[in-house]
Each structure stands twice: as C-alpha cells, then as structure tokens.
Amino acid sequence: MRPADTFAARLGLPIRDTTLFEQALTHSSYLHEHRDTVSGHNERLEFLGDAVVTLVIGEALFRLRPDDDEGVLSARRAAIVSAQGLARIARRIDLGEALRLGEGESRRDGRTRVSLLASGLEAVLGAIYVDLGYDVARDWLLEQAAPELTSDAPLSSLKSAKSRLQEHTQRVNGERPSYRLVEATGPDHEKLFRVEVSVGGRALGTGVGRSQKAAEIAAAEAALPGLRDGAPDGPGAG
C-alpha cells in the first residue's frame, strides 16, 4: 500500500484521488530532489486549505459560542488557525511522519517544525476538500479540532506571542518590541530566517522560521519566559 493510502486509511478517510493526497504530503524540498518522479508539491493545496480552515473554524465558533462578541470570536479563531494551533492538531494525527521531505528538511527536524506541520495540515485539508467535498472536509476538521473548539481557556491565553510580548513591554516601560532580521540562509526553496527581538536596545530573544513572520513569532515566544513583572533590564532600568 502506498504511504498516502496508509495515512488516509489511518485517518478513516475514503480518499478517491491518491495522487492528489500524495501531493498534499509532498513538501517542496522533496520535489526539488525528486523532479523525475514527483509532479508537484503541496503549496497550492496549502493555499486552498488555509481558506477552508478559516471558514470551518469560524463557522463552528459562531454556532458553539453564541454569547461571544466579534472580538472574542476572532481571538479564539486566531488561536486555533495559527501555526502553533494547526501544528498541535497535526501532531495528534502524526502528520510529520507521513510528510515527504527532502533530506535537508529531514536533517533539520522538519517533521517536528511548527510551520511545516501547520502548512502540511492545510494542504491535507485542501486535498480532502477537492477530493471529497466541503462537508467531509468540515466534519473531519471539526473532529480533529474538538479540544480547541470546546476549550474555555481565558482569552488572554489565546493571544499570539507577539501580542502578549507587546502588551507586556508597553505595560512595564511603554515601549514596543523591535524585530530585526539577523540572517536569511539557504536556497529559495529551503530559506531559513533568524530574527532577534529587542526592547529599548536590549535583546530579549531570537527565533528561527521558514518565513520572517514565523521567525518573529518564534523570537517572541523565546522572549516571553524570561520576562518578569518589572521592566526588562536595559537603558534606564535598575
């Protein structure tokens, strides 16, 4: 049985177009190393899946939480459809093990990388939508995202790392975090970005990601644990 068939069977999906599903599991790095045997990668399906995810989760929250206003609904949706939120769902179904990655991505722990897992999940959902229709794609995603959809976590915990970091620094010293691109390495299809976040000239953390935005989020996440209730040490502190 082909890997895509095995993965689909494990998820309980009656996939009809195995070629499409294999494409959903194929990262661009794999295509670049196997041009003679692979016809395409998953980025177009990722684009489509992103739209499906947003609609499904937004509709579900609208129906499940009739007392939440637009701001709360938006925050809850953003938390679920964020890279971190989608990667959490992807781990539940062991998506990382099913992805077809190039050797370089595999060596860099690509099967556990948040951005890669999130984009892979969107691509899989895009393939389900194309092959089996919206109703099947919706029901499957709602089943996978049930813990997040029914969670009563406080709104503050749903905000992105960048939002939480900015709120903290503005509260304690009135300054906004500044993000600086330190370096971008690798070929275009495997570019890796490193970003440093600082406040008042003091570096608080660095992060690495497949895009500059992802690296900024990683930098904010790295900075948050080291913050204390007072203003960060730096010019004028102490």
CA angle (188 as vertex; 185, 189 as ends), nearest 5: 110
From 50, 131, 148, 221, the catalytic residue: 50
Active site residue 233: no
In the chain, which ranges are E strands? 178-185, 192-199, 202-209
52 neighbors 129 (Cβ within 8 angstroms): yes
Active site residue 50: yes
Residue 163 structure tokens: 């939002």
Count the residues in the chain: 238
From 22, 46, 122, 131, the catalytic residue: 122
Q: How far apart are CA 227 and CA 238, in angstroms?
A: 15
The Cβ of residue 174 has, within 10 Å, a number of other Cβ atoms equal to 9
CA angle (226 as vertex; 87, 205 as ends), nearest 5: 65
211 neighbors 232 (Cβ within 8 angstroms): no
The Cβ of residue 96 has, within 10 Å, a number of other Cβ atoms equal to 18
Active site residues: 50, 122
